[in-house]
Structure 1
């Protein structure tokens, strides 16, 4: 008997998409072979669905349905719109690296004015020589699809001991409606370096687009790194991002993510301790309204002894929004003296809001200190009454309580100016809600 896998209509569309885009994708013949292999993996698995445990709460087959055609290279008009978006969302003083519809935009970037010790090239240039950046081993369908379709990205390197005076901000701008963009970037932080990386996702007049991003972040021994990710896509956009982080010895990594836009979003992070004595502070905020769906899925792998991780996550959900937090801490058999904690809290502003929190611990060592917790609830009526009794309108009273609720996560950002920048984004979300 001959057995054939029957493709759905969306499966045929994706096959046609890859075939039509293959000639536009950069890379040597060896890279093309890697892309085809990655796409075969995706085609075999299809979009993730709720029967896959890691995707139980974010069923892309139901929420997304199919992958949109690849966005074309941005023209002059698109670059002009992107320039205005960059001005609106750039962090003051940061060195900007801009990707427009998945393509590096040199004219909008500060690649020629980077601080000493910081260098950048593009994924497109790297793929002409090697396929290494596409060969991340994974059985995850969206990661495989990203490897198959990645058109560009930044390859950023901060040398050993470098302490750039300005943050580096990677800005993804979407200008093409009803199209998809696939980007993959690598960020390498050298030994003893001290750096701040900001990654922003914004729209410039586009809607109903899809973003697939992957970041390979490696941090050398004794480094001190702040990584701030701000996702403010169009209200009807889809953003699926995968990040792979390796942490060396005696590293301090402060990671923060805020999601305040997009119809469907998922950030999945895979963080591995490879050296002893490191500390991870991982904080996140979801600000969701209408029918927005925001998913933060994290795996922190304590593979070596004497490391500490702290995860603090806050979700504010209005209307029929749906927030998902899945956090897993793995402590390997040799990872004694591990100290790992995670806490997730959800604030439900309507009866139809939904929060799914799934913290997990997998501990294979016996000399550890680990714990987790999860809560969900509404605004405190007594506190609301207290503020309203002192003359505050109800929306303003709610806004003050919401700011205090998310403040614990935002306050972990050490840089005062950057923290105020993030607070401003949260305040604008609250204004739109009003």
Structure 2
């Protein structure tokens, strides 16, 4: 008996997009073969849906409806619009690496500003190097997630960053994804490798140029943090109101290394940030904080897996969600403690603030502990603004919206304060205040 998997209209559209775009994708030989195998893996799984536990709250078959065709290379007009959009998310003093509709744009980027000890190349340049088929390894990952397989098959560009051992970068690196096209999709992937005892700040931003709408982004970032290295990784997602953004992170942390990861989502009709972190070296220290700011019918999903693979590691996860109107926030967090990972210290907390009766927050923290000498815990809460505090503020002359905004800022402050750099804390708070201004 021959079994044939039934496809939804959306899945058939994805197959058509891949068939149409295949000749435009960079790389041949082993690279093209890696793409083919990845797309076959995606087709076997299909788009994630509610019957898959990790995707039960974010059913892409229902939420995406259709898959947009691959965006074309940006022309001069698109680059001009992208330049204007950069001002909305630019971090002062950061060296910018700009991707427009999934394509690296040198004239908007500042590779020369990075200085010694750091190498930056584009993923397209490496994949198109016919003399180096081995670089197909840049398309390989340790996870079998369907959207990562789709990213592998369709990726067009990204940046590959390497920081030498002992190098301390004097300025942050900011990768900016700018969407200028409408009803189009972009697939990007970046690699960042920090050498031993290196120090760096890495920022990712997603923004829409004027006129961009109904676009889709599928991004992946592969991070290696070397022994004794310190990395601050900040993400701010401010997509168009009708955009779809599915981003994945695969992170490996070495011995006695420190990683501080922060994510803020305040745009997009559908967004999911899923990050898989492996603490692979003893004595490492991980801090992960995040914020979802959602309104209208926005759907924001943060899914986190922290794998304590070795002893004597510490992890702290702290998430906040503010949900208005009919927005839907999802947090799924899992801490895994392997049998040999004794003396693990891991804690996770997620809190949601619901501003309307129709707002929804699904929080699912989990612990999987296979060792017996550990300190681990998790918690989750959901609630509304404190009426007594609102009354107190209004009695002192604040209008209702201003009083709410002040309490919301205080609610978000605990997560934002974990950002070590003061200027970046102010940048993130300014982004949150923009959301609050629109809400007013």
**Structure 1 position 171, deviation (Å):** 0.2
> 1:375: Cα distance to partner?
0.2
Which residue of structure 1 lines up, in the alignment, with residue 370 of structure 2?
364
Deviation, 1:167, is 0.3
Aligned pair partner of 1:155 in 155, 160, 164: 160
**1:324 maps to what in 2?**
330
Of 256, 267, 270, the residue aligned with 2:273 is 267
Which residue number in structure 1 is paired with residue 125 of structure 2?
Answer: 125
Aligned partners of 2:6 and 2:246: how far apart in 1? Answer: 26
CA distance in structure 1 between the partners assigned to 2:360 and 2:266 by the alignment: 16
Whether 1:314 aligns to 2:320 is yes
Cα deviation for residue 19 of structure 1 reads 1.0
Other structure's SS at 1:40 match? helix
Q: Does 1:201 align with 2:206?
A: yes
CA contact under 8 A between 2:322 and 2:354: conserved in structure 1? yes
- Equivalent in the alignment of 1:74: 74
The alpha-carbon deviation at position 6 of structure 1 amounts to 3.2
1:50 aligns to what? 50
Query: Could you list the per-position Cα deviations for residues 164-189 of structure 1 after superposition, in whole angstroms to 9, with x for gaps in the alignment?
Result: 11100000000000000000100001
Assess if the C-alpha contact under 8 Å between 2:390 and 2:403 holds in 1.
yes
Contact 2:280/2:309 (8 A) holds in 1: yes
Alignment counterpart, residue 308 of structure 2, candidates 293, 302, 305:
302
- C-alpha distance after superposition, 1:304-346 (max 9, x if no partner): 0000000000000000000000000000000000000000000
Q: Indicate the residue corresponding to 1:11 in structure 2.
A: 11
Distance 1:334 1:307 in 2: 12
- Residue 243, structure 1, aligned to residue 257, structure 2: no
Query: Which residue matches 2:428?
Result: 422
CA distance in 2, matches of 1:67, 1:301: 32
Bigger drift between 116-125 and 376-385 goes to 116-125
Q: Distance in 1 between matches of 2:358 and 2:14?
A: 34
1:115 is displaced (CA, Å) by: 2.4
2:96–2:175 Cα contact (<8 Å) kept: yes
Cα deviation for residue 266 of structure 1 reads 0.3
Map 1:18-417 to 2 at 5 A.
18-128=18-128, 129=132, 130-205=135-210, 206-417=212-423
Distance in 2 (alpha carbons) for counterparts of 1:137 and 1:245: 10
- 2:327 and 2:148 mapped to 1: Cα distance? 26
Q: Is residue 115–residue 166 contact of structure 1 (8 Å, CA) maintained in 2?
A: no
Deviation at 1:54, TM superposition (A): 0.2
Partner deviation per Cα, 1:189-226 (whole Å, 9 max, x = no partner): 11101110000000002010000000000000111110
Q: TM-score, normalised by structure 1?
A: 0.99
- How many residue pairs align between the two structures? 434
Deviation of 1:49 (Å) = 0.3
Q: Structure 1 stretch 137-146 or stretch 177-186: which is displaced more?
A: 137-146
8 Å CA contact retained: 1:102, 1:182: yes
Q: Which residues of structure 2 form unaligned runs of 5+?
A: none
Aligned equivalents of 1:133, 1:332: Cα separation in 2: 27
Runs ≥4 residues deviating over 4 A: none
Moved more, 399-408 or 154-163: 154-163
C-alpha distance in 2 between matches for 1:377 and 1:215: 33
